[in-house]
Structure formats: C-alpha cells, structure tokens
A and B are shown apart, each in its own frame.
Chain A
Amino acid sequence: MNRAAEHGIEVEGLVRDFKDGPRAVDGIDLRVQPGEIYGFLGPNGAGKSTTVLMLTTLLPPTAGTARVAGHDIVREGPAVRSAIGAALQEAALDPLLSGREHMKLQTTLQGVPKAERRGRGDELIERVGLADAADRRVGGYSGGMKRRLDLALALVHRPRILFLDEPTTGLDPSSRADMWQEVAHLARDEGVTVFLTTQYLEEADVLADQIAIIDRGTIVARGTPDALKAEIGRPTLEVTPAAPDQREAVATVLARFGTPAPAPPGAAAARLRGGAEELAGVVRALDAEDLAVTDFQLHAPTLDDVFLAKTGRKLDAGDEAAADEPREAVVA
C-alpha cells in the first residue's frame, strides 16, 4: 500500500482570511480516514470551497496546518497534488475542446505514460458514460455531462484522494443519482478517499461515512449521519387537521407531548419528547378533543434538524447571497 493510501486528511486549526472580508475559514480541525467519504456540509458562503482550495494547495492558508495523503499542504504542494484529484465547484472545462481532447491534455500533463494515455482516456470516458459524446465540443455538453467529464479528468492519474466541491449542484435528479453512484463506487470498490462538499442534506446523508457541518467558517457538528441525527434524538410528528381552523387546537395538543417544530402551512408539528412511543398517546389526545386529522406523519430526525439545532437556522435558508468563492486579494 502506498503512502497516500495509508493517509487521509488531517487538518488542525486551519484559518483563511481575505482582505476586506470576514474570516472565511476560522480554525477548523478535521480528520478524514483513508477510504471513507467525508461529507462537508454547509450553506453557501460557509467556507466549504475555501477549505477545498486550501487542501488542494491552490490557496495558502493564513494559519493552521493540514496534511493530505501524508504531505503538508504548504511545504509539499507538488506531492499533495500528485496524490489527489479534484473537481472544483465549476466544471473547469474548455468549451472549444472535445471530451477526448480534454483527456489527451490531462493525461499528458499528469504524466501518464504515452503508451497508456489513449487507453486511460477512453476507459474513463466510457466509465462516465460519455463515449458517444467524446468527440463533441464540451461547449455543447449538458451540465451533467460536464460534471461527469470533470470527474473523469480528476481520475486520470489514479489519485488516492478525491476532492469534489459541490459535484451535483445544478444537476437534474437523474444526473445527481448517476454522480452519487460513481462516487460511491470510487470509495467502496476502489478505496479512494473522497472529500465531498455539498449543500444538499440528502447527498451527505446518502453518501457520507462521516460528516462535518460548517457554518460561517467554523465546524458546528461532526460525526456519522446516524450519530448526528441521534444527537438530536427526537422524531418530529406532523399533523394536518381536517378542518383548517383546528390547526391551533392540534398544535396545543401536540405541545403537551413535545416542543413545537416548523410545519408546512395548515399543519402543526412537534418534536416528541418521548420519541415514537408517544404516538398512541397523541392519537388518544386528539380523539379526546374531537380533532379529526387528514395527515399524520412521523419524521425521523434529519440532518436539517441537526443543522437547525446547531445553528438556529435551516440549511436551505443559508446566506444565498454570500458566494463561497474566495476573493483575490489576500491578507497573508
């Protein structure tokens, strides 16, 4: 086993400041084990992309240390880059080149031996389902095709660690599912360590072995998806009364069994204090009050609940205006 395969990612106190801006990353610690999918979850502007740029050696940190594949990101940049692959936030492709020409360029620049370049390129193009479009210019590709090509290009030199920065943002559900399948295959079947940033709770939930939730530059929670949800612990019961004017009455009944929770219009919800065992009691109480219901749903805790509990905000209500792109001017 090579050195990269023995090491994942170790980050201590990583900080990044930008001139005239808030601290983008504020002293984060991370430990990613080899072969796992690490989900880095947070809203726009949380510091995800800045972290990825630092870990991929494209942005020097202001403070702190990080080792990727056993190499220091500041002192051993070339060694880090040779061990990693990255598909950054925007699929960085040349619209005037074809998929196959991208492959040729990437395999050459990555130092793939000449005799293997064509074969490696074709293999990856086939793998990401772009064989039919390989000779077409990338400018005519769909968003999903661009993302798949971007992923394939990140894999040409067989990296042991792969950074994917919001790989499914803007993709349709089918393309998203394809991407998830490929990422899962890379980690489970090929042992590639995957550091995946996302603003999609479902994506982190489905793919990640470990999750860190980042908000405003700091990590607010970390653990396995199940452990994080268990930390919140209590399921949410959502009840829709048959008569809309009985919503308050239903909410009053639910309040006896737990703390109120956000609910869709016309419904009331509560996070059940005693868990799912309270259900029978809730039904009896509603019946005793003559409150008819049309919908009755018990939700297990989600990562959204975790985010809400840790930050006081819902993830999808993040600061959309704050782009998570690092600014150019740098305060060293």
Chain B
Amino acid sequence: MSVSLLAQIGQMARRSILQTLRQPAMVVPPILFPLVLMAINVGGLEAATSLPGFPSDSYLDFAIAVPFVQGALFAAINAGSALARDVETGFIKRLAMTPMQRTALLLGHLGGVLVVALASACIYTAAGFAAGMDFEAGVAGVPVLLALAMVIALAFAGIGAYIGLRSGSGEAVQGFFPLLFVLLFLSSMSLPRPLIEQDWFRLIATYNPVSYLLEGVRSIVITGWDAEALALGFGFASVIALIAVTGSAAALRTRLVRT
C-alpha cells in the first residue's frame, strides 16, 4: 500500500521544519541579521532621502524590502544544506528504498523552507510597522507582499536545493552564500537605480534580477500598486523559481537513482 503524494510531501515538509527549528543557527540569524543590517542602513543612509528623485521621504520605507530578499538568501542556504546533509548521511538512499516519489522529497523540503520563510517575512513586516513604516498599499497589500516574499524565497531555495543536490556537500552550499550576497549588494539595494552615479554599478544593477525582486517588494510599500514593478518582481522571481526547481528536480533524478 502506498501513501498519497500529499501525505509524503507533508511528512517531508514536517521533517524540514523540525530540522530548521532544531538548529538555532538556521533560525536566529536569518531573522535577526537582515533586521540589524536594515537598522544600520536606515540609521546611516537616512540623508539619501533628500536626494532629488528619491522615491520616499523615509529610508525605512525604502530599505524594508531588503530583509525579504536577504531572508530568501538564508532560505537558499537552509534548503541546500538540508538536502546536502541527506546526501552526505545516506538518508537519501533510505528514502529511495521507500515508495516515496522524488517530487515529495523536493517539494517537502521546499515547502518546509517556505513555512519558515513565511514566518520570517511576517516578522519583517511586523518589525517594519513597529518601526513606523508607511505602507502605501494598505491592508490588501500585506498578503501580496507575503506572496511575493514566498515566490522569492522559493526561487532562492530552489537554487540552494540545486547546489545541495548537485554537490552533496554542505560546505559547497555554504560557500555559495557569499556569491548570493554579492548579487544583493550589486543591486538597487541601497539606492534607486536612477540615482546610482557609477555607470558600471548602475548597469550591473539593471541587469541584476535581484534589483527587480527588491523593487517589486518596495513598490508595495512606497507606491502602493505599481503594476509594472509587481509584474517584474513576480515575473523574475517566478522564472528563477521555475528554472531552479526544474534544475533541482533533474539533480535529484541523478542523485536518487533507482530502477
């Protein structure tokens, strides 16, 4: 008798959440670090709001988008590390011996990571409101913000899962983290793209998809309902998620061989 795909995914997601919650290092830094970095930026870069063309009179409203993307980077590390550990410990072979479908392993892991990412996103949102964020989209904007945060988390978690499955090494996943961070810093994280003076930086930020993820989140806070920014944010996040999850599924097929 085989168990339904949904039950398999549920079991794997439950395991993923337990794994994360039982490693404080996987929970505390992903929540605290982005908030601390945002607080530092808000404190140090408030003067940027007086630049002509700056889209908000509060740097907090501008910077609140960053924790959502940064949290997603941590989701990538969590997802990748967990799958790499399954390869390293041979646990993946135990799973391969059961009637479990490959899809359940991947979706379960990603689902568990998304639950943790959702909790983190709720905390970022609450912290923003507590700090006096002016939320232009209103109440209806909150679920859209969280939805976009989830798609972004899925995109990065998919990348992490791909690296974890391909390399089978937690160290490789950790080693990838700085690269993701560089992508974040080479985006419109600190300034709107039109206000970036250096041409090379502005060019990179323009071609860097992370800019559009940030700008999608930012538009909900600052503009309210900006269809183009939202379309680009959801669009880039969805495309990255699709490519990353497809790549992860292929990597899993190679890793979880059975006849």
Give the interface of A toward B (CB within 8 A).
56-60, 73-75, 77-78, 80-82, 84-86, 88-90, 92-97, 101, 104-106, 108-113, 137, 153
User: Is B1 part of the binding interface, using a Cβ–Cβ cutoff of 8 Å?
Assistant: yes
The answer to whether A109 touches B98, judged by C-beta atoms less than 8 angstroms apart, is yes
User: Is B211 part of the binding interface, using a Cβ–Cβ cutoff of 8 Å?
Assistant: no
Instruction: Pick from B2-10, B132-140, B235-243 the stretch touching chain A.
Output: B2-10
The answer to whether B90 touches A88, judged by C-beta atoms less than 8 angstroms apart, is yes
Given contacts A57-B259, A88-B93, A92-B89, contact A108 B19 (CB under 8 A): no
Q: Chain B residue with minimal CB distance to A105?
A: B11
List 3 tightest A-B contacts by C-beta distance, closest first. Answer: A77-B259, A92-B90, A109-B98
Beyond A57-B258, A137-B22, 19 additional pairs, beta carbon < 8 A: A56-B97, A58-B258, A59-B257, A73-B259, A75-B259, A78-B99, A81-B97, A85-B97, A88-B90, A88-B94, A92-B94, A96-B18, A96-B19, A96-B23, A101-B18, A105-B11, A105-B15, A106-B98, A108-B8
Contact with A along B104-135 (1 / 0, CB 8 A): 00000000000000000000000000000000
* Interchain CB contact (< 8 A) of B96 among A58, A101, A113: A58
* Interchain CB contact (< 8 A) of B100 among A56, A95, A109, A112: A109
Q: Chain B residue with minimal CB distance to A53?
A: B93
The answer to whether A109 touches B99, judged by C-beta atoms less than 8 angstroms apart, is yes
Q: What separation, in Å, do the CA atoms of A324 and B201 have in the docked complex?
A: 52
* Interchain CB contact (< 8 A) of A109 among B18, B95, B257: B95
Q: What separation, in Å, do the CA atoms of A292 and B90 have in the docked complex?
A: 57
Q: Chain B residue with minimal CB distance to A92?
A: B90
User: Is B91 part of the binding interface, using a Cβ–Cβ cutoff of 8 Å?
Assistant: yes
Q: Chain B residue with minimal CB distance to A112?
A: B1
Give the interface of B toward A (CB within 8 A).
1-3, 7-8, 11, 15, 18-19, 22-23, 85-86, 89-100, 257-259
Q: Chain A residue with minimal CB distance to B1?
A: A111
Q: Which residues of A contact B96 (CB under 8 A)?
A: 58
The answer to whether B2 touches A108, judged by C-beta atoms less than 8 angstroms apart, is no
Q: What separation, in Å, do the CA atoms of A268 and B168 have in the docked complex?
A: 52
* Interchain CB contact (< 8 A) of A81 among B8, B11, B23, B258: B258
Q: What separation, in Å, do the CA atoms of A78 and B23 have in the docked complex?
A: 35
Q: Which residues of A contact B98 (CB under 8 A)?
A: 81, 106, 109-110
The answer to whether B1 touches A58, judged by C-beta atoms less than 8 angstroms apart, is no
Given contacts A105-B11, A108-B7, A110-B99, contact A90 B19 (CB under 8 A): no
The answer to whether B15 touches A97, judged by C-beta atoms less than 8 angstroms apart, is yes
Given contacts A97-B18, A111-B1, A153-B94, contact A77 B258 (CB under 8 A): yes
Given contacts A94-B89, A97-B18, A109-B99, contact A58 B7 (CB under 8 A): no
* Interchain CB contact (< 8 A) of A90 among B2, B11, B89: B89
Q: Chain A residue with minimal CB distance to B11?
A: A108
Q: What separation, in Å, do the CA atoms of A104 and B14 have in the docked complex?
A: 11
Q: What separation, in Å, do the CA atoms of A59 and B18 have in the docked complex?
A: 31
Q: Which residues of A contact B23 (CB under 8 A)?
A: 96
Q: Chain A residue with minimal CB distance to B101?
A: A109
7 CB contacts below 8 A, A to B, read: A74-B259, A94-B91, A96-B19, A109-B3, A109-B8, A109-B95, A113-B1
Q: Chain B residue with minimal CB distance to A56?
A: B97
Q: What separation, in Å, do the CA atoms of A59 and B8 have in the docked complex?
A: 23
Q: What separation, in Å, do the CA atoms of A322 and B203 have in the docked complex?
A: 52
Interface centre among B1, B2, B97, B258 (most CB of A within 10 A): B97
The answer to whether B97 touches A96, judged by C-beta atoms less than 8 angstroms apart, is no
Interface centre among B3, B94, B258 (most CB of A within 10 A): B94
Q: What separation, in Å, do the CA atoms of A155 and B2 have in the docked complex?
A: 16
Q: Chain A residue with minimal CB distance to B254?
A: A328
Q: Which residues of B contact A92 (CB under 8 A)?
A: 89-94
Q: Which residues of B contact A74 (CB under 8 A)?
A: 259
The answer to whether A94 touches B99, judged by C-beta atoms less than 8 angstroms apart, is no
Q: What separation, in Å, do the CA atoms of A73 and B97 have in the docked complex?
A: 13
Q: Chain B residue with minimal CB distance to A60?
A: B259
Q: Which residues of A contact B15 (CB under 8 A)?
A: 94, 97, 101, 105
Min CB gap A113→B, angstroms: 7
The answer to whether B91 touches A93, judged by C-beta atoms less than 8 angstroms apart, is yes
Min CB gap B109→A, angstroms: 12
Q: Which residues of B contact A105 (CB under 8 A)?
A: 11, 15
The answer to whether A58 touches B93, judged by C-beta atoms less than 8 angstroms apart, is yes
